Structure 1
Amino acid sequence: MISNFTRMRSFFILGFPGLSPQYYGLVSALLFFIYLAIAVGNIFISAFVICQKSLHKPKYLVFCHLALNDLTFGTLTLPKIIAKYWFGDSIISFHGCFAQMFFVHYLGSVTSFILLVMALDRYIAICIPLRYPVLITNRTVSVLCGFAWLIPLPLMAAIMFHVLTLPFCKLNVIAQCYCDHISITSQACGEDVKIVTVTSLCLAMFCLLLPLAFILFSYISIIAVILKMSTVGGRKSTLSTCTPQIFITCLFYLPRCFVYIANAVGFIFSIDIRIILILLYSLFPAAVNPIIYCFKTQDIKQTLIKKLRTTRIGIEVKLSI
């Protein structure tokens, strides 16, 4: 391994350190399947919403932004680790690793702000429904989602350039399946490492906890409104309109909170378990979200069923002719 800062030109992606070589093919196939699920699912849901004029509504526009984010995240992280176990290609360039680190944390922050927009949409729709048509339009949601992509950009760029100022004098091993802030700074040395780590943590927590605070407020307010409804049918109908958003938000935040709390109370995971947990909360939502859109969102579900029935009837007519 390279240990001299002036000669460091690349990093070595370690992946799962405890994995036996005989399982490399199986793991690469599994990761490839996960990537296919992410790519096919999110491309399908984006194309379906775009092509169906009946779905050109604010909340489905938010789904498209989230699908684009999930697709981009999977594309920027999975191919390299698949190549490691499939082709034995474990090397990533120095600047390529920093670029990957930037996008990993940038896209995670964007997801957090998009979930905030999603919560705002449901909060206004349920808590102040009379104002919903005025306050929430396709244009409004587009602007809000634009800010969701824009706000984390300078913050994550600042983190990346701050890390670039550090001298790297340790082994060039990334103990992870992709380059992230912790794995890169662990290879740095000098008195500034702690300052960079604390600064980066504060900015990251801002991008995660600020949206989470509003998201919690929104869904608590929504639940309070639902509980005040007089009829059971009204409660179920109203709750069903925000069930997909709640599922998606929980998939993003709960595993992260579990890992952070476990670390805070001193519960130490093995490297392999830690990597699996990180992959789980990073990639599992991206693969599962399109399924939630299709089966937990009534408009998308009904439109999809109608489309499938029309297609089947058309095929049966052609066959009968």
Structure 2
Amino acid sequence: MVSNFTWMRSFLILGFPGLSPQFYAPVSALLFFLYLLIAIGNIFILTFVFCEKSLQKPTYVVFCHLALIDLTFGTATLPKIISKYWFGDNIISFNGCFTQMFFVHYLGSVTSFMLLVMALDRFIAICIPLRYPVLITNNIISVLCGFAWIIPLPLMVAIVLHALTLPFCKSNVIAQCYCDHISITSQACGDDVIIVKVIALCVAMICLLVPLAFIVFSYISIIVVILKISNVAGRKKTLSTCTPQILITCLFYLPRCFVYVANIVEFSFSLDVRILLILLYSLFPAAINPIIYCFKTQDIKQMLMKRLRKTRIGIEIKFSY
């Protein structure tokens, strides 16, 4: 029995325990496709907004930060599980596992605070529109986004360092597709494990529920204001300006709330289903968000169509010669 955490040199990523080896290749290909989707979609958004000066507005600054978070999250989590199913490499170093855990929880917390900034942007734009040009500028939104990156940093560093103090004397198998706090601390032993878990849970709830409280308040206020608009066309137009934000927020929070509520009511999942649910709510929004930006945001959609028309005309002129 190992009695000191420094003796545990590495962890083994379990992935989906019930998955038959004959499906390893298709699963690795699917995960690789998912990673390509995340990488191409979010790099496209970052590049497109950066190159189009007309899109460099507060709302799209927040979109770019979210795209950067999604890209980083996918890069931090997917390569290792792809490597497991593609090459049979399921070993991750002790330090590598804790580094991955940090990025998983840190980026999730940053997303939560970034969604708060996004809700604040829409709240001011719709509820107090006359003050919007003064209260929300590119510089102000950049500062707010900076705070969204900075606030969770010391909290997540403290969580990781606290987990490092535990002795790891159980199995070194991570029952997940990537290293997270629950999976790692489940392999620890000693009287301090419960304290570490409770503190981490409290920090997670603060990072998720405090932004969520304001987000819910802001979107309820926005819906109330929209319902008061007598003109149907005006009501639809105003609603369309915050539809992408509402969809992105729902994609992030609803699956998490479902899993947490299921745990509270003691609704049990099989291990494979639980791992799949966590993987989906972690990575599905990162793949879908760029599509929402492009097809649910009028400015980006119009700019894309304009670019495509110019490209088509250019190709037609080239072939005509």
Displacement of 1:136 in angstroms is 0.3
Structure 1 residue 31 and structure 2 residue 31: aligned?
Answer: yes
SS at match of 1:11: strand
1:180 maps to: 180
1:101 maps to: 101
Matches of 1:53 and 1:99, distance apart in 2: 36
Displacement of 1:288 in angstroms is 0.2
Matches of 2:275 and 2:207, distance apart in 1: 22
1:309 maps to: 309
1:67 maps to: 67
Matches of 2:19 and 2:3, distance apart in 1: 28
Summarize deviations over 1:46-87 as a string: whole Å, max 9, x none.
100000011010000000000000000000000000000000
1:13 maps to: 13
Contact 1:4 1:170 in 2 (8 A): no
Matches of 1:228 and 1:145, distance apart in 2: 31
Displacement of 1:4 in angstroms is 5.4
Structure 1 residue runs of 4 or more that deviate by more than 3 Å after TM superposition: 2-6
Displacement of 1:318 in angstroms is 1.2
Matches of 2:40 and 2:72, distance apart in 1: 12
1:197 maps to: 197
Summarize deviations over 1:230-262 as a string: whole Å, max 9, x none.
111111000000000000000000000000000
2:117 maps to: 117
Matches of 1:264 and 1:76, distance apart in 2: 29
Amino acid at match of 2:103: F
Summarize deviations over 1:92-141 as a string: whole Å, max 9, x none.
00011001000100000000000000000000000000000000000001
SS at match of 1:48: helix
Structure 1 residue 248 and structure 2 residue 248: aligned?
Answer: yes
Contact 2:3 2:167 in 1 (8 A): no
SS at match of 1:67: helix
Displacement of 1:3 in angstroms is 4.8
Q: How many residues align?
A: 320
Contact 2:123 2:222 in 1 (8 A): yes
Pairwise CA RMSD of aligned residues? 0.8
Structure 1 residue 143 and structure 2 residue 140: aligned?
Answer: no
Amino acid at match of 2:248: I
Summarize deviations over 1:266-317 as a string: whole Å, max 9, x none.
1011110000000110000000000000000000000000000001101111
Contact 1:3 1:171 in 2 (8 A): no
Contact 1:124 1:132 in 2 (8 A): yes
Structure 1 residue 56 and structure 2 residue 56: aligned?
Answer: yes
Amino acid at match of 2:286: A
Structure 1 residue 161 and structure 2 residue 161: aligned?
Answer: yes
Identity %: 79
List runs of 5+ in structure 2 lacking aligned partners. Answer: none
TM-score normalized by the length of structure 2: 0.99
Matches of 1:314 and 1:161, distance apart in 2: 57
Matches of 2:16 and 2:185, distance apart in 1: 19
Matches of 1:173 and 1:182, distance apart in 2: 12
Matches of 1:7 and 1:210, distance apart in 2: 38
Contact 1:9 1:94 in 2 (8 A): yes
Contact 1:3 1:172 in 2 (8 A): no
Summarize deviations over 1:187-217 as a string: whole Å, max 9, x none.
0000000000000100111000000000000
SS at match of 1:92: strand
List runs of 5+ in structure 1 lacking aligned partners. Answer: none
Matches of 1:95 and 1:250, distance apart in 2: 33
Amino acid at match of 1:139: N
Contact 1:172 1:187 in 2 (8 A): yes
TM-score normalized by the length of structure 1: 0.99
Displacement of 1:7 in angstroms is 2.6
Amino acid at match of 1:79: P
